Structure 1
């Protein structure tokens, strides 16, 4: 299930993005400041290049690039 990013409260969205960009394996040695990484994700969400995906089974949200999402989720 896709969750529109603009339906989340600003603080909730920020915490979700921060959690995503600080997960193990996401920095790959990148020393870009946290705020810059958060803004990059916000930009990708705004441009519909990335989406928030909710998995009802695990009750977890994650951020995914559009090309990694099953096409049927966009129907």
Structure 2
């Protein structure tokens, strides 16, 4: 089920974004990218509709995925 990110409390959304960014473990090469910059990049993807918050009832987890990974979007 897609969760509308705009409906979330600002602090809740921030916590979700930070958790997602911290667990992704992406290597950005020689130049370090701050947590804040990574969070803003993911938030921008949500705002542009490129990514969505996806709740899995089966696993009881919330994840951020590319819109292309959700067949009915």
Q: When the two structures are superposed, what TM-score results if normalisation uses the length of structure 2?
A: 0.88
SS in 1 for 2:63: strand
What is the correspondence of 1:9-48 to structure 2 with a 5 Å cutoff?
9-23=9-23, 26-30=24-28, 31-48=32-49
Deviation by residue 1:7-62 (Cα, 9 ceiling, x = unmatched): 10000000001000000xx2332231000000001100000000000001111100
Compute the RMSD of aligned alpha carbons: 1.0
Structure 1: which 5+ runs fail to align? none
Structure 2: which 5+ runs fail to align? none
Q: When the two structures are superposed, what TM-score results if normalisation uses the length of structure 1?
A: 0.86
Give the ranges of 4+ consecutive aligned residues of structure 1 lying more than 4 Å apart after TM superposition: none
